[in-house]
Structure 1
């Protein structure tokens, strides 16, 4: 089963003590689901398009079920407003790929599904 990720594109931050409290409490909400930060507002270089703001990526090794359960958990829901009241953004839960993922296999699957639409 591939890992899943919570990916956040955050912008429009306004400093507030609630943000500090959110940061102090979030790891305890992740622990029961083995969630861990992989990216948390580090250096960002935009090489295509525009990306105002920062990126947060949290990994859930147990997959999408764990990511969904974390987000819906009472512990996380209890602190969510501490962030959303002061930082705008988009958060998605997304399934990763297995370690042996090959994009060629995906291309072949797409071509087989619509042989006329993906002419060479």
Structure 2
């Protein structure tokens, strides 16, 4: 099942040279773990609810294990400070849903679990 690294980054108006170096090199750290960008910055976006002044990043991996191993890898950990020294943000790793996922079945299971008869 796919997994995702999701970043909600708060870049400065002008990106520091170290951040640009990070951007130039980050794909090389993703490749051994099957990671690829789905969203990277997305200058065009339409905020429908709330506020979103940050820069979104979404990277897909074959599994949560791949995502964890990428983030913990020596190559990525060596590169990471080039971004974190100059850009705040929130990052998480999260499982996706399996093929054929049905949100109605999820709702039904939650209803059943919350039923007083359970």
- What TM-score results when the alignment is normalised by the length of structure 2? 0.92
Shift of 1:44: 1.6
- Distance, in Å, in 1 between the alignment partners of 2:69 and 2:52 is 29
Partner of 1:79: 79
Secondary structure of 2:80's counterpart equals helix
Instruction: State the SS of the aligned residue for 1:49.
Output: coil
- Local SS of the residue matching 1:22: helix
- Cα distance per residue 1:58-80 (max 9 Å; x no partner): 0002x100100000000000000
- The answer on whether the counterparts of 1:37 and 1:57 sit within 8 Å (CA) in structure 2 is yes
Please state if 1:20 is matched with 2:12. Answer: no
TM superposition shift of 1:12: 3.9
Structure 1 counterpart of 2:107: 107
Q: Is the 8 A contact 2:11 2:55 kept in 1?
A: no
Answering whether residue 50 of structure 2 is matched by residue 39 of structure 1, we say no
SS of residue matched to 1:98: coil
- Asked if structure 2 preserves the Cα contact closer than 8 Å seen for 1:44 and 1:54, the reply is no
Q: State the Cα RMSD in Å.
A: 1.0
**1: CA distance between counterparts of 2:5 and 2:106?**
23
Aligned to 1:49: 50
Structure 1 unaligned blocks of 5 or more: none
Task: Report the TM-score when normalising by structure 1.
Answer: 0.91
Alignment correspondent of 2:3: 4
Aligned residues: 114
Give the C-alpha shift of residue 112 in structure 1: 1.3
Hey, what's the Cα distance between the residues in 2 that align with 1:28 and 1:12?
Answer: 22
